[in-house]
Structures are given as C-alpha cells and as structure tokens.
Amino acid sequence: MARAEHGKHSMLMDALEVICLGAIALVVALLVRAFVAEPFIIPSASMSDTLKVGDRLVGEKITYRTNEPVVGDIVTFTDPERADVTLIKRVIAVGGQTVDLHDGVVYVDGVALDEPYTDGKPSYELPTHSSLLADGVQYPFTVPEGYLWVMGDNRTNSQDSRYFGAIPVSSVTSKALFVFWPLEDVGSI
C-alpha cells in the first residue's frame, strides 16, 4: 500500500512540476513580448515590396528605450486614430526637419530623397480625413520636435503621415528587425 501511495505522490509532484514550468514559461513569454520583442503580421500592401502582405516579422522594443528612431528606420506605432491598431511605416523625417512633396518626389530640408524602396512609385499628397488634423497637412510641413514623419514604401497604397500628420515618438512601439515567415521572405529588414 505504501508503494501505491508513493506512486500517487510522485505523479502529483510531476503534474505540479509541469504546471509550474508551464506558468513560468508563460510569464517569461509575456514579459519578452511586453518589453523585448513582439511578432507582427503585415495586413496590407502599404509597405510593399519591402514587406509583403502576410509576412511575419519581429519588432524589437529595446533600442527605443535609449534612442529615438532615425530616418530610414521601419517602425511599428499605435495608429493615431485607433489605439487598438498597430501600423508599420518607414521614418522619413524627424523633429525639426521639413517635408515637402513636388511632382511625386519627397523632399526633406529641400533635398530630394533617394528612395529605391519605393520602386519608383510617386509620392503625392493625400486628402486628409483625419480627425486629428483640422486643416489637413500643409506643405512644406515642419515636423514638430518629439514627432516623426512616416510613410509606407508603397506610396500609391499607403495611408501615412500625408493622411494623419506627424506621429508622436511616444507612439512608437518597436523597430522592425527581421521577417521570420514565410521562408522565402526570411531576412533582416
């Protein structure tokens, strides 16, 4: 009888150990997602061809704890109009820089940008329907300090700062690091 009780006690301890390890793994995973890195799925073609619809990527959250985003970074951020939505775009200008659009070309501080990632797609003004912009975006537009001008790489299919204006640096949630799925798209961004 003692042997049967010992077996039950051992099974109970094994089950308790599995439950504890599972709980610890869950807590670690949640902490990593909250403070270190988070996976994202690209839902639209606004960043094509850099990122394709359905690409899964990792956004890391450590860099922007000590540094602000710089021009060229691809960042995730909270949608200015819907706090429950995360967007992903490329930083085109930072606070203090002036953005202008002429004949489909983006100018920052009077210099035309070399943007091979747009595949030659033009960058025209967009009608601003954002509730955040009473007068819309007026060009040339000087990005306020503490804000970023972001645009999708697929300029003909992206609602970005041309639509909703500059975004606060504080709304940035991560820096896009690499695509991990599908296999044919795996690589750093």
Look at residues 181, 189, 168, 156 and name the one whose alpha carbon lies nearest to residue 72: 189
- Scanning the structure block, which residue is given the tokens 């010992």? 6
Active-site annotation holds for 131:
no
CA dist 139 and 135 (Å) reads 12
Q: Which of 46, 123, 158, 161 is catalytic?
A: 46
Residue 106, Cβ neighbours under 10 Å: how many? Answer: 21
- Residue 38 tokens read as 């988070």
Instruction: Enumerate residues 6+ apart whose C-beta is below 8 A from 107.
Output: 99, 100, 101, 113, 140
Asked if 74 contacts 50 with a C-beta cutoff of 8 angstroms, the reply is yes
Active-site annotation holds for 121:
no
Q: Which of 61, 89, 121, 175 is catalytic?
A: 89
Q: Could you give the residue numbers annotated as active site?
A: 46, 89
